[in-house]
Amino acid sequence: MTDENTPEGGGETRRDFIHIAAASMAAIGGAAVIWPFIDQMNPAADTLALGTTDIALGELEEGQEVTIMFRSMPHFVRLRSASEVEDAANVQVSSLPDRLARNRNLDDNAPATDDNRSALTAEIADGVEISDDLRRSLLVTSASCTHLGCVPTEGAGEFGAWFCPCHGSHYDTSGRIRRGPAPENLPIPPMTFISATTLRLG
């Protein structure tokens, strides 16, 4: 009887190799199987496809603001008054906590001037005519505070635009962070004027 009850008896390398190969193969499979179970939690195809929201500008009066949903996130749409635009334009970019425009229509490193924040940066569909003044006074930004995601209150705070009630971040009339814990300016979504009175986000 050739009974060897000890599990780790002997030391031939070929035997070790086959066990190591089998165990490694099993480990590879185990690792590969994890991916579908992680990826299923990513946004599904229908969620990703809900790409665009159209905003009718005709009803918006100067100084008025509406909050709309775009990709399940609230966004501010504000037709700013001339003085609000002027206030924002007079701020030196170098004095800002966040000097980047955070505008999806521009390069990542575009400076946070007011022109770079306003709808002047929006694409214009073929054959659509729209005045520069209107584009400059229109501001569309995310309504999620870049600190921890609360929706800032309109018309509050030291800069007359938005103030986040959660942790006290102050934004100016260009949606830029000026004081408080928020690290970045409110981001601006991709925008296209598809008619003289309709702005499409996404």
For residue 61, state whether it binds other proteins (rule: CB under 8 A).
Answer: no
* Selected binder of other proteins within 31, 44, 107, 109 (CB under 8 A): 44
* Selected binder of other proteins within 26, 125, 148, 196 (CB under 8 A): 26
Q: For residues 73 and 57, what is the distance between their CA atoms, to the nearest angstrom?
A: 19
For residue 191, state whether it binds other proteins (rule: CB under 8 A).
Answer: no
Q: What is the CA radius of gyration of the chain?
A: 27
Cβ pair 167, 16 in contact under 8 A = no
The count of C-alpha atoms lying within 13 angstroms of the C-alpha of 129, restricted to the half-sphere facing its C-beta, is: 0
Q: Find the binding residues for other proteins in span 64-103 (CB under 8 A).
A: 66, 68
For residue 131, state whether it binds other proteins (rule: CB under 8 A).
Answer: no
Stretch that binds other proteins, among 3-11, 88-96, 98-106, 129-137 (CB under 8 A): 3-11
For residue 30, state whether it binds other proteins (rule: CB under 8 A).
Answer: no
Stretch that binds other proteins, among 37-45, 95-103, 104-112, 119-127 (CB under 8 A): 37-45
* Selected binder of other proteins within 25, 125, 148, 196 (CB under 8 A): 25
Nearest of 139, 105, 142 to residue 122 by alpha carbon: 105
Q: Which residue, 40 or 95, is less far from other proteins as judged by CB?
A: 40
| Partners of 199 in the β-ladder | 55, 193
* H helix intervals, the chain: 13-39, 45-49, 82-89, 114-117, 132-137
Degrees, nearest 5: CA angle 53-152-137: 60
H or E element that contains 192: strand 191-195
167 is catalytic: yes
- Across the beta sheet with 162-164, the strand order is 153-154, 162-164, 169-171, 177-179
Least Å from the CB of residue 32 to other proteins: 8
For residue 31, state whether it binds other proteins (rule: CB under 8 A).
Answer: no
Least Å from the CB of residue 56 to other proteins: 5
Say which residue the tokens 């179970």 belong to.
37
Catalytic residue annotation: 167
Residues that bind other proteins (CB under 8 A): 1-5, 7, 9-10, 15, 18-19, 21-22, 25-26, 28-29, 32, 36-37, 39-42, 44-47, 49-52, 54-56, 59, 66, 68
